[in-house]
Amino acid sequence: MDEFSSTLGIPVMVIAVLFTLYDLILLLVTSGRDPGIVPRNPHPPEAEIFEDNSEVGGARTAQLHLPRTKDVNVNGMTVKVKFCDTCLLYRPPRCSHCSICNNCVERFDHHCPWVGQCIGLRNYRFFYMFVFSTTLLCLYVFGFSWVCIVKIRNAEQISLWRAMTKTPASIVLIIYIFISVWFVGGLSVFHLYLMSTNQTTYENFRYRYDRRANPYNRGVVENFKEIFFTSIPPSKNKFRARVPREQEYQQLTIGGGFMSPNMGRAVGDIEMGRKPVTWDELRAVTQAGDLEGGLSSRNMVDDKDSELGEVSPDLRREFLSTRGVEVQAALHHRRSSWGRGGSWETMPEVRAVASAMWEKSRIGSGSGSRSMSAANL
């Protein structure tokens, strides 16, 4: 304001202050706005059932299968969407999970550490306006810093270097802005190219649309209209609402079914109106299937000897094989229902079979050890 006349000094200063405030407001809007977070699912989606080729005890085991990707049609082209194990959902097209924010973000561009926020569908417009306005502010201050030095040189009729020593603030600003403008200026030009081709930073570095067709590119004019002149969709999250505390689920597969990480706790909230069943009971059923292969031939023969008496070996073999198939069918039925929203209650006959098999195994091992001790004596 000292070097310019009163008609020019005040406007130059006012423009610089207003430009700085405008830039800070864009920074706050970019960092404080919901970038397009996709709400998580409290439970995994319905899994598809398929018959596995493996056979246990003569019966095929049914397992749950959730496809890792699904095909979605975008502008006449097929795009694969992936399943997110953290959010328990299939991500919409152009959506990705941010490892820093730990959220799935629509039209994910990148996570900006300088802004402290993901850049996505709902704040990308303000992010570019912030970067571009920062570039313009840098050029504005850089230019008027040199103008100030030149006016001092002309007013005092001294060399340029002497004029620079008389205004050290201008020298500091020139050096600082010369370094900063390469970052914000380069970022502005790079995102200008991305907007003209309707790409995101994530897609540009990962998919390389120069090697294949971009299903989202609709021309330069339409691409810019999509970024700056379309209405921003409302947030899918109600951050001010009270959220009930729910049990966190993760996709863990044990014995082909979805299992919760809360092992050992009651799962009465999985299906209303049922007796709570602990995960230890469910695990006992799977262990019974493993014990059956090694113990059924011995324990069932011991258990049925009193019933069959002196029956012929052929009839006895047929009877035992029938009982083994019944046990395997019961276990197979329980395994196939896990993860489909069906009943998690353990069948009484399955628990009885598992308990009897475990007890006979314990008694058999104890009698065997005693007979060996007697033989040694």
Structure tokens at 271: 């299906």
Q: Is residue 213 part of a domain?
A: yes
Q: Is residue 169 part of a domain?
A: yes
pLDDT of residue 241: 86
Instruction: Classify residue 374 by burial, with Cβ atoms within 10 Å: 0-12, 13-18, 19+.
Output: exposed
Q: Is residue 112 part of a domain?
A: no
Q: How many domains does the chain have?
A: 1
Band of pLDDT at residue 266, cut at 50, 70 and 90: very low
What is the pairing mode between strands 59-65 and 69-74? unpaired
Cβ contact 203:215 at 8 Å: no
**Which domain range does residue 138 map to?**
5-37+119-229
How far apart are the C-alpha atoms of 135 and 221, rounded to whole Å?
A: 23
Its pTM stands at: 0.62
Distances in Å between the alpha carbon of 180 and those of 169, 301, 324, 356? 16, 84, 76, 76
Q: Is residue 44 part of a domain?
A: no
Q: Is residue 329 part of a domain?
A: no
Vertex 42 angle, CA 41 and 45, to 5°: 60
Q: Which residue in the block uniquely carries the two structure tokens 């993860």? A: 339
Q: Is residue 174 part of a domain?
A: yes
What does the pLDDT look like over 158-201, one tens digit per residue?
A: 998 999 998 899 999 999 999 999 999 999 999 999 999 999 99
Annotated active-site residue 112? The verdict is yes
Q: Is residue 258 part of a domain?
A: no
Q: Is residue 194 part of a domain?
A: yes
How far apart are the C-alpha atoms of 130 and 76, rounded to whole Å?
A: 34
What does the pLDDT look like over 135-155, one tens digit per residue?
A: 999 999 999 999 989 988 988
Residue type, 176: Y
The active-site residue out of 84, 98, 104, 112 is: 112
Q: Which residues contact 125 (CB under 8 A, 6 or more apart)?
A: 227, 228, 232
